[in-house]
Amino acid sequence: MEIHALQQIVHQTRDARRKQTIPKFSPADRDRLIHQYHPDYRSSAYRPIRFGPNAGDKTVVELAALLEGDSSIQEHIDLTPQYTTDVLVVGGGGAGCAAALHAHATGAKVILATKLRLGDSNSVMAQGGMQISVAPEDSPVTHFLDTLKGGHMQNDHELLKVMVEEGPSIAKWLIELGVLFDRQADGNLHVKKGGGSSKPRLLTCSDYTGLEIMRVLKDEVLNQKIQLLEFCAAVELLSDENGQCTGAIFKDLDNHRHVVVAAKSVILATGGIGRLHIQGFPTSNHYGATGDGLCLSYRMGAKLDHIDTFQYHPSGAVYPEQLIGALVTEGIRSEGGHLVNAKGERFVNELDTRDVVSSSIIRECEEGRGIRTMSGRVGVWLDTPLLDAEHGPGTVEKHFPAMMMQFERFGIDISKDPVLIYPTLHYQNGGVKIDANSETNVKNLFVAGEASGGLHGRNRLMGNSLLDLMVFGKRSGLTAASRAGSASQGKLTVNHLQRFRADAKKHGNSSGVISPMILPAYTRREAERTVTN
Amino acid sequence: MAQEDTNVIDQPEVVRHKMVTIEISGKKYEVPEGITVIKALWHTGQEVVRGAGCLGGFCGACATYYRTKDDPKVRTCLACQMAVEDGMSFTIMPPFPARKALYDIRSLKDPKQDLFNLYPEAPLCRNCNACTEACPQKIDVREGVWKAVFGDFKSVSEMFMDCVMCGMCTPVCIADIAPNLVALYVSRAQGAHFTEKPQGLDTRIKEIQDGRFNDEWKKVLAMSEQELADHCATVK
Ligand SMILES: Cc1cc2nc3c(=O)[nH]c(=O)nc-3n(C[C@H](O)[C@H](O)[C@H](O)COP(=O)(O)OP(=O)(O)OC[C@H]3O[C@@H](n4cnc5c(N)ncnc54)[C@H](O)[C@@H]3O)c2cc1C
Ligand code: SF4
Ligand code: SF4
Ligand code: FES
């Protein structure tokens, strides 16, 4: 059937659904649902990592292959540095920009190298907002508890306490730099309620929160004249004789030459893994989200945490084809949008945590209550017109201009028609294990932002990532910069590769792939006949 | 509507698209109808490094000029957000060397006046409207430049909230203005200097500094795993 005919049921059942309240699942039901339907529990998608710091731990096969992958760097490579710096930041998203700005502000010399252009990242796409406990009825402790609950009690308490307590001062810093957060009539920050949170706590800049923050931070990086190396992808780290981190080797993507940077400390802010398309899922992530930081740190001996759990955002677009995997912001559900199956029924409390909502959508589809598009994809409805019905005409347009425009380009008016959604691979819950200063177990190697792990436990709460970036970007930047004065530049070697390769050999060699991946292989080769997503 | 198969994740695509002919930087190729302009580049075997970023319509890396069949008008789009159609021709826009002024936003004394020192070309707008026509985000860019010049920073900051900094408004400007950079300065100045300070935020920062939550922290951090889980369950 044609998509318009299928969606009539959403319009027909709207009024009846408005009267319903759907209770949240009991803890036992919620666990059962997740175990049965969440992709994290598909055992066939997982295997143990054969060697390295996390030997024996299970992760998805796509990531295991990259972690066990070999470096493109040979041991005899010329390591004469082209650049020398105190702090080397790798990655130009939110965490990287925050780290660079704070390190620079202390007077340290900073280089920021990034794979694409400055700011081309997941950070620019964050629409839903940033959690900071600013409302009088809220508190950092409540923020802590909500996050723990969302993370299945697995969050690192120390990291989490640091994040929630530093939140308010981060908001102040951003406002001083000119970030335009939405306000109440009295001038105070406007807060929205996000999924899994007990109090309204989301700061927003309409539905452009990440873009607005990134426009400002990028501009500030340029204004501060921080040295940039764009289109430079880190392909290997450097270590001294004690295994401490001393710099990195990049591949310049314009001329394919190697660039060696000597640094007293390195901050990896390379973001997530969406473009690995784990378990065949489409993704909401940017072009460069290929888990590079995980591979680079792992070869240096850094331990990873919670790398068996990923976040599948409940609402990825399923229709139109061009938007597959693109995020439909959670804000729609925060403002009361219903999830509706093919029978016109609601089936989950829309504001439950992401893993619960995603699992229930997968359940609906697997049990035959999904809606199938012409191209064979399956999803459920998100009732967007309901927002205009509830809060008055023009609500969708006013609160979600970015999303309106995205669908309008393909002739869909989401204030009139519901959108079809299915979970999309969205976020890496775990990552490289860090301490409260964002440092790994490898000295002078810091990891900040989505690439790091521990803080979010087994499921990140919406809006906590943007805060994570700012807090741990800052902490890594300040700590790295504070070492610059006393430390001298260590030797540049790739000795860790010898160790890694010996280890690989003992365990039946590397996986045969070269990592990091840098960019996904979307370019169609001669022999292939199909289009990739 | 019922499903036959249990695994809905790895569905093969059922419908094979019709092929259309398009022109990329002057060369003809056949691609499936309706795929995005970026996917068309991949489909025709091109490596895309410059020209793709977020793939979600937010970063402006994929600024593209295109023309549809028999239409003389060259338009602009974001390549990751535009579907190809038969007879379309397009080319990705190379980076444009616009001048960005450098400033320290926090220490500006008179931001509205400083605009004219930082971007002296801004008042020279000749009202040609080319920037507005070039904007893929449908911002009234020309109007924004005027509002900036007349000191209505608030309106500019609202109008340019949609700006993805693709820079397509700059090469077309006959007065050598970079409207997006002017608007960025204006928006930051609006946020940093002309927006009310949120009182509640300062109160919260002070509460944290003064240790108002210390007792609660002590209680929570001393809990056993089970106690903590039970306590979390009571938070509503
Ligand atoms: C569509 C979308 C919506 C979201 N909405 C929200 C939200 O509302 N609230 C929230 O809190 N979170 C949200 N998130 C999550 C959040 O945006 C991300 O987790 C966060 O932006 C990650 O920031 P980062 O700085 O760690 O990584 P990124 O912002 O992804 O930046 C990583 C950077 O590293 C670069 N890089 C990668 N590999 C290399 C390499 N080898 N060498 C050099 N550079 C490299 C990349 O090019 C990029 O510039 C959203 C995410 C997505 C995708
Ligand atoms: S104002 Fe200029 S830079 Fe911003 S989106 Fe429009 S064309 Fe692009
Ligand atoms: S293109 Fe330049 S001159 Fe023309 S309206 Fe825009 S800013 Fe003014
Ligand atoms: S790739 Fe970011 S807007 Fe198209």
- Phi, psi values for residue B129, rounded to 5°: 75, 5
B202 to each of A130, A133, B212, how far by Cα in Å?
18, 12, 14
What the block records as the tokens of A506 is 């003992």
Does domain A3-37+313-425 bear CATH number 3.90.700.10?
Answer: yes
Does domain A83-124+216-309+429-496 bear CATH number 3.50.50.60?
Answer: yes
A482 to each of A86, A478, B223, how far by Cα in Å?
10, 6, 35
Q: Tell me which chain A residue has its CA closest to the CA of residue B3.
A: A368
Contact list, A39 vs chain B (CB under 8 Å): 9
Task: Compute the count of residue pairs across chains A and B with CB atoms less than 8 Å apart.
Answer: 251
- The domain limits of chain A are 3-37+313-425, 83-124+216-309+429-496
Sign of the C-alpha dihedral computed for residues B81, B86, B88 and B89 taken in this order: positive
Asked if the interface predicted TM-score (ipTM) of this complex is over 0.90, the answer is yes
pLDDT for residue A413:
95
User: Pocket of ligand 3, candidates B139, B141, B163, B177: which has the most ligand atoms within 8 Å of its Cβ, to mutate?
Assistant: B177
- One DSSP character per residue, B29-50 reads EEEETT-BHHHHHHHTT---BT
Q: What residues of chain A score a pLDDT lower than 70?
A: 1, 526-533
pLDDT for residue B6:
37
**Contact: B204, A134; criterion CB under 8 Å:** yes
- Residue from A124, A133, A358, A421 to probe the interface with B (highest B Cβ count within 10 Å): A124
pLDDT for residue A533:
43
What the block records as the tokens of B223 is 């809990």
Q: Tell me which chain B residue has its CA closest to the CA of residue A153.
A: B229
Maximum Cα–Cα distance across chain A? 71
Contact list, B196 vs chain A (CB under 8 Å): 183, 187
pLDDT for residue B16:
58
B166 Cα nearest atom in ligand 4: 3
pLDDT, one tens digit for every residue, chain B (236 residues): 333 343 333 344 445 568 999 999 999 999 998 889 999 999 999 999 999 999 999 999 999 999 999 999 999 999 999 999 999 999 999 999 999 999 999 999 999 999 999 999 999 999 999 999 999 999 999 999 999 999 999 999 999 999 999 999 999 999 999 999 999 999 999 999 999 999 999 999 999 999 999 999 999 999 999 999 999 999 88
Ligand nearest to the CA of A192: 1
Do A179 and A210 form a contact (C-beta atoms < 8 A)? no
- Residue from A132, A180, A459 to probe the interface with B (highest B Cβ count within 10 Å): A180
CA A462 to ligand 1 centroid distance, Å: 14
The 10 Å Cβ neighbour count of residue A522 is 19
Q: Tell me which chain B residue has its CA closest to the CA of residue A196.
A: B236
Do A394 and A387 form a contact (C-beta atoms < 8 A)? no
Positions of A marked active-site: 313, 333
Q: Which domains does chain B show, CATH number per domain?
A: 9-92 (3.10.20.740), 105-193 (1.10.1060.10), 199-234 (no CATH)
Radius of gyration of chain A (CA): 23
**pLDDT tens-digit series, residues A257-288:** 999 999 999 999 999 999 999 999 999 999 99
CA B123 to ligand 3 centroid distance, Å: 10
A93 to each of A211, A390, A391, A400, how far by Cα in Å?
11, 36, 35, 23
**Contact: B53, A121; criterion CB under 8 Å:** yes
What the block records as the tokens of A509 is 């060699």
Task: List the residue whose alpha carbon is closest to atom 20 of ligand 1.
Answer: A123
Task: List the residue whose alpha carbon is closest to atom 2 of ligand 2.
Answer: B169
pLDDT for residue B12:
42
Task: List the residue whose alpha carbon is closest to atom 8 of ligand 3.
Answer: B125
Sign of the C-alpha dihedral computed for residues A465, A129, A123 and B185 taken in this order: negative
**pLDDT tens-digit series, residues A76-116:** 999 999 999 999 999 999 999 999 999 999 999 999 999 99
Cα–Cα distance, A164 to B207 (Å, whole number)? 13
pLDDT for residue B15:
53
